[in-house]
Structure 1
Amino acid sequence: MSSIVHGGSGQRKGTLKAAIRDSLRELGTQLSLLNHRVGTRLELKDVDLDCLDLIVRHGPLSPSALARQAGLHPATLTGILDRLERGRWVARDRDPSDRRAVLLRALRDRGGEILRLYAGMNGSMEKICSSYTESELEVIADFIRRTTEAGRNAADELAQ
């Protein structure tokens, strides 16, 4: 009898793993759609918004560091940076440690526009998270962190 219960438990675990994979795929699709709609409202291409996000989170960055993080060819990045600079989203500053080099930094005066467009999702996330205990949130945060790292590693492997 215990092997039947155990087998059922293994089956349940497999079903849950499949549900998680399916949910992550759907989440990726929905977040991509949300980002696309935000970008459209801001008159930014999807890749422009991705690069802006990387600069906001990790900047100031050199263009080559941004190209690596975004998985883009440096020549492709030139057009993106031109659009972001024209739209007053970023500035290209001289690197104080090497006057020949450039650092990209996000201009904060337009950040409110982005926050406003993501307010609905941020409010929903707050409600969802408030329904979990602190220890459950720790597990969820760990899962997301580890899944993100797995995605980064898989992307890096494909880039080689």
Structure 2
Amino acid sequence: MPHQRELATAAALALPRFVSATVRFHTAVADRLGVTPAELHCLQLVHSGTTDSPTELARLLGMTTGAFTRMLDRMERARLVERAPDPADRRRLRVRALPDRMGELTELYAPLAQRFGARLAGFDRRQLTALVAFLTDGEHAADLATAQVTDPTQPPREIRG
């Protein structure tokens, strides 16, 4: 049985490989759908119910509102999403995923979702609690690191060649 330190090292080494594999998968899905990875991420946020607010979507994607508007225009032309009036405030818009392409998206993600689901079904309550805590903490850590990297008070680094 490996010692805790060995397991922690193995986990630390496996995590970047897992992240890289998921980035490759998302890139392949985006290519299959004929969209950019940012457009796919937006589609996932809207489809999952995370948010339908254009301002919040732009923030979550790390985009300016102008860049997000241009991306949304492309996504509308591709019949992936539509802008709809906010029922609570007609001055505001909401982004809605169009159902025609959502079936294709769901189909592309199904094998991975099934594999993850089968693996998670074998975890006990303690393991699931630890996993959820780790993933939640990891999301927070990544958000903090992203904020540091994108700090507007810091000049961009020069590329040395």
Counterpart pick for 2:81 among 77, 80, 90: 90
TM-score of the pair, normalised by structure 2:
0.81
Structure 1 residues without counterparts, runs of 5 or longer: 1-8
Alpha-carbon displacement from aligned partner over 1:54-99 (angstroms, at most 9, x marks no partner): 22232321x2221111111222212211121122221111233443
Residue in structure 1 matched with residue 155 of structure 2 by the alignment: none
CA RMSD of aligned residues (A): 1.8
Q: Give the greater-gyration-radius structure (CA).
A: 1
Residue in structure 2 matched with residue 40 of structure 1 by the alignment: 31
Bigger helix share: 1
Structure 1 residue 104 displacement after superposition: 1.3
Matched, 1:113 2:104: yes
Q: Distance in 2 between matches of 1:105 and 1:59?
A: 10
Structure 2 residues without counterparts, runs of 5 or longer: 152-161
Report the AA paired with residue 137 of structure 2.
Answer: R
Matched, 1:67 2:58: yes
Residue in structure 2 matched with residue 123 of structure 1 by the alignment: 114
Q: Distance in 1 between matches of 2:96 and 2:81?
A: 5
- Aligned to 2:123, the other structure's residue is in SS state coil
Alpha-carbon displacement from aligned partner over 1:94-131 (angstroms, at most 9, x marks no partner): 23344333221222342211111011111111221122
Alpha-carbon displacement from aligned partner over 1:3-28 (angstroms, at most 9, x marks no partner): xxxxxx6xx52x43332222111111
Q: Distance in 1 between matches of 2:136 and 2:46?
A: 20
- Aligned to 1:99, the other structure's residue is in SS state strand
CA contact (8 A) 1:52 1:106 kept: yes
Report the AA paired with residue 134 of structure 2.
Answer: F
Report the AA paired with residue 60 of structure 1.
Answer: D
- Identity, % of aligned positions: 29
Report the AA paired with residue 81 of structure 2.
Answer: V
Structure 1 window deviating more from structure 2 (95-104 vs 119-128): it is 95-104
Q: Distance in 1 between matches of 2:28 and 2:41?
A: 13
- Show the 5 A alignment for 1:1-160: 12-13=4-5, 15-57=6-48, 58-61=50-53, 63-160=54-151
What is the number of equivalent residue pairs in this alignment? 148
Larger RCO of the pair (alpha carbons < 8 Å, separation 6+)? 1
- Aligned to 1:132, the other structure's residue is in SS state coil
Report the AA paired with residue 103 of structure 1.
Answer: R
